[in-house]
Each structure stands twice: as C-alpha cells, then as structure tokens.
Amino acid sequence: MKRLLKQKSILVILIVVVISIATISVFSIKNSNDSLLPIASTISPVTPNKIELSNITHPVRIKIPSIKVDASIENVGLTKNGLMDSPIGPDTVGWFHLGTMPGEIGSAVMDGHSGWVNNQPAVFDDLYKLKKGDEIQVENSNGVTITFVVREIKKYSPKADASNVFYSDDGGVHLNLITCTGFWNTILKSRSQRLIVFTDLKK
C-alpha cells in the first residue's frame, strides 16, 4: 500500500512538472544562488537484477575514484519554483529524494556544485574529466555499495529539455549526475551550460 501511494504521489509531481516545463521551459543548475533542473521524474520499486529489494535504501555516500570524489549525500527536493534544489555547501552531493532511489529501475539523479565562489574547491569541479567506463560507487544506509558505469557525458543549454535526465523507460537502472559548466553570466548569476553524466548499473 505504501509503495502504491508513493507511486501515485510521484505521478502527480510528474504531471505537474511536465506541464510546467511545457509552459516555462526553464533549465538551470544551482551554483551559489542558481536553481537546478526542472523535474520530470518517476519512481519504480521493481527489483533490479543482483540487488535485493531490501538492500535498496536512501544513499549516504558517493565515491568516484577516477576524479577522487568521496562525499556525503544529502536529500534535496523542490524549490518553491518547482525546480530541483541543490546541496547547501560545496562539499556534499544532493540526491533528488522525490524521484528514483539509486538501485531502483529508472533514473536516480544527483547534483553537486562546481566553480564555487572564491575558487573554493567543490565536489564536482572535475566531473567533466570523467570518461566512458569510469565507475561511480554509491553507498546506502544499509551499507550496500551499488556501482554504476559512465555511459555518456553531455552538455545542455539552460533552456534544453531535461526530461531524459530525470526519466527513463528502458527498464534499466541508472544514475545521472548534474553540475554547472561554461562561462559565468554575471547578470543571470548562472553558468552558460549544464554538464550531465549518464550512467548505468554495473553488470
């Protein structure tokens, strides 16, 4: 029953956000005072291969060995404008807890800062250095580590359609990472592009 209610509530969020995307077409990521991508996400509690359903819980830590990332994960939801929020500071990664959980079928989404103010190091400063085949490890509250493999890295303009970042219908298990890239627009207080890393569950 709880799963059914959860699915229904996420479906309502999806419908509302899809309408919002169609009307305002906003696509931005929070860097200092920016906002993140509009949400188009769903959740599926179906058990992926090799991962027991009882072992799929909320993520607490992310490690990306190839770029030396080892950071804690905090839950983020929606801003008052209906956009995905971001972690408070430069050192942590935000998981969109209203969407897919890492290890579930669908696309789990996490974001993190890059290019923090005063040149302070941020968790996803080197995200652009990732290559196809690099591994990303997510540890959850049960102590289980789920490994994802980089499939593709793309750059988006702020007005691009973000639905494929938050939603997938291929029956696979995915984790997508988001950060800012490009030049800093002093008027809009935002960077010119969004860097998205698409990954798949390691088989």
User: Which pLDDT tens digit goes with each residue over 7-24?
Assistant: 434 443 443 333 233 322
What pLDDT, on a 0 to 100 scale, did the predictor assign at position 30? 40
User: 152 pLDDT band (50/70/90 cuts)?
Assistant: very high
22-36 pLDDT, tens digit each? 322 333 334 443 444
What homologous superfamily does CATH list for 2-201? Sortase (2.40.260.10)
Q: Is the pLDDT of residue 104 over 80?
A: yes
pLDDT score for 38: 40
Total-model pTM: 0.74
pLDDT higher than threshold 50 for residue 43: no
All structural domains of the chain with their residue ranges = 2-201
Residue 65 has pLDDT above 50, yes or no: yes
Q: What DSSP string describes 40-101?
A: ------PPPTTS-GGG---EEEEEEGGGTEEEEEEEE-B-TTSBB---SSSS-EEEETTSPP
Please report the pLDDT score of residue 117 as a whole number: 75
Helix or strand or coil: residue 16? helix
